[in-house]
Amino acid sequence: MTTPSNTPASSGSGRPLFDHIGAVIADWAADDPGALAVVDDTRPVTVGELDRRIDTQVADIATRTSDRGRVATHAPASAELLATLYAVPRSGRVLVPINTRLADTAKLAQLRRAEVELLIGDPIDGFDGTTIPLTELGRTPRRAEATRVIDRNHDDVAWIIFTSGSTGEPKGVLITHTSLAAAVTATAAARPIADDDVYLYPFPLFHIAAYNVIHAHARRRPVVLPPRFDARRIIELCHAHRVTTMSSTATMLRMLLDALADDPRLGPPVSLRSIAYGAAPMPAELLVEAAEVLGCDFAQGYGSTELSGNAVFLGPQEHRRGLTDDRAILRAAGFPAPGVEIRIADAHGDELAAGEAGEVTVRAAQVCAGYLDDPITTADTIRDGWLHTGDIGILDDRGLLRIVDRAKDMVVTGGENVASRAVEDALRSHPDVADVAVVGLPDPRWGEAVTAAVVATADSGLRGDVWRRAPESFVAALGDLAACDLAGYAKPRNVFVGPELPVNANGKIDKRRLRTLLAESPGSTTSP
């Protein structure tokens, strides 16, 4: 089934809010240079000041790199780093944000894969290109003239963001000026920012989620940008800057509520009107509690790096209905934004009827240009203009999308994506591991907990007739092993040992059945 054109979130349309990322701040500064643009942990920065800072970075970047060269960033969120996210594409170069939480070997592999010439921020061991600290970028006068907005094809690649697939192999997603502008414009139509909003962005700037910052600036609204997530500090910033809207994950929201409960003197931010979340549906119980404590609205977005942001939205109206008399709607992803088509397809790519489960495919201007140096995967993922997400979903007669199963066995923990195959590959090197499968199990704090089901070797002394929790020493050993090659959030929080992994009729591991077995095992505190 293809989404109808009259879905609730699809009413209305509009031209892109910008054509080129380099124009967003430049155009705003030309009209209102004294407006507040961003507040980080140091001080407020006006639009005019941010625009001048971008220009000095552009001049520096232009003399250190080749035309259309690739420039990586590797630093905590700050106003300086935000300037760089605008400066690199404004200079005509391509930005490659590096996940600061990855292991150094993974970071280095991405730098080499993208053929990065310049690294801005903290050094990465083994990188043989030029590295410059963020605080020094643009501080030394350069001979090159600053380029305010590069006059090139808007379909040029602006960002390359690496994301993990089902195999755990990093794929560089090619985000163009056009696709990013389309994602921002879709979000502005489906989840608009008001003329008096102050937006708080609590995530790192290396995620595609950073498009939300571009959205706020394209609507000429200020952004509060903490360098890291600290629940108490977030609440303080909301009070200090009268934040009206912010993004969150289930994990972050739980931490905010806990901080308010631990110290009632903080008090809920009275200015806060809405919280937007994504990655996965929020537990209904958490939404109910948050609505009572914070008294604000909620909105969900469904998207991906390949979609340059979110494309499907469950708005405040649906959340209000879900919190009162229709809890089932809270498990839905939402309605497509204007300009976004959703189709549910079978294994052959043929369209399915309403109510049938199949692969979610998306056609929109915000679909990325493909994958870096990977034409085969690009052709397999984007077919005839349709992005094949790999997610299994159902569309109802209204065009409401519900995700039935997460694609490619990805675990979403604390808002971070973890490819199960990557964790499995790391754990298999342990001498006591004969076989292993990694799944996500529900977790009240992290949304999902990375969970390893291990079939131990015969001489390990760990084998048993039923699935049960592994000894803490074995859990720690596997965690240390995973940490050698993966980010800290990819370490298994739960480890179970058992007799054999369940398989389906095709001989593949049945992870749905495995989740049930683990949830029902002795000592488990989760439910399938």
The 3-state secondary structure of 446-508 reads CEEEEEEEEEECHHHCCCCCCCEECCHHHHHHHHHHHHHHCCHHHCCCEEEECCCCCECCCCC
Closest listed residue to residue 168, CA positions, set 372, 426, 350, 500: 426
Residue carrying structure tokens 């992994």: 501
> Tens-of-pLDDT digits for all 528 residues of the chain?
566 433 333 333 468 899 999 999 999 999 999 999 999 987 899 999 999 999 999 999 999 999 889 999 999 999 999 999 999 999 999 999 999 988 899 899 999 999 999 999 999 999 999 999 999 998 865 554 545 445 566 889 999 999 864 445 789 999 999 999 999 999 999 999 999 999 999 999 999 999 999 999 999 999 999 999 999 999 999 999 999 999 998 878 989 999 999 999 999 999 999 999 986 667 788 899 999 999 999 999 999 999 999 999 999 999 999 999 888 888 899 999 999 999 999 888 889 999 998 899 999 999 999 999 999 999 999 999 999 998 888 999 889 999 876 666 778 888 887 878 788 888 988 989 888 999 999 888 888 899 999 998 888 888 778 899 999 999 999 988 888 878 888 899 999 999 888 875 455 688 888 988 998 887 665 544
- At residue 42, the pLDDT reads 79
CA distance 351 to 70: 39
CA distance 320 to 386: 32
- The first and second tokens of residue 357, run together, are 């489960």
The stretches of 263-360 forming alpha helices (DSSP H) are 284-294, 316-324
**pTM (whole model) above 0.85:** no
Q: Which residues does residue 410 pair with via DSSP β-bridges, in sequence order?
A: 419
β-sheet with 94-97: strand ranges across: 130-132, 118-121, 70-74, 94-97, 157-164, 170-176
Closest listed residue to residue 186, CA positions, set 387, 407, 335: 335
CATH number at 408-519: 3.30.300.30
Q: What is the DSSP letter of 149?
A: S
- At residue 279, the pLDDT reads 66
Rg for the chain, CA atoms, rounded: 23
Q: What share of the chain is helix, strand, coil (3-state, %, to 5)?
A: 35, 25, 40
Instruction: Give the burial string for 388-397 (b: 16+ CB within 10 Å, else e).
Output: bbbbbbbbee
- At residue 150, the pLDDT reads 54
- The first and second tokens of residue 518, run together, are 């683990």
User: What does each C-alpha distance from 324 to 115, 274, 278, 320 come to in angstroms?
Assistant: 52, 17, 21, 6
CA distance 268 to 24: 33
- Whether residue 395 contacts residue 363, with contact meaning beta carbons closer than 8 Å, is answered with no
Q: What is the DSSP letter of 8?
A: G
Q: Determine which helix (DSSP H) or strand (DSSP E) holds 311, and give its type and residue range.
A: strand 309-314
CA distance 44 to 171: 36
- Whether residue 50 contacts residue 29, with contact meaning beta carbons closer than 8 Å, is answered with yes
Cα dihedral angle (217, 270, 225, 191), rounded to 10 degrees?
-40
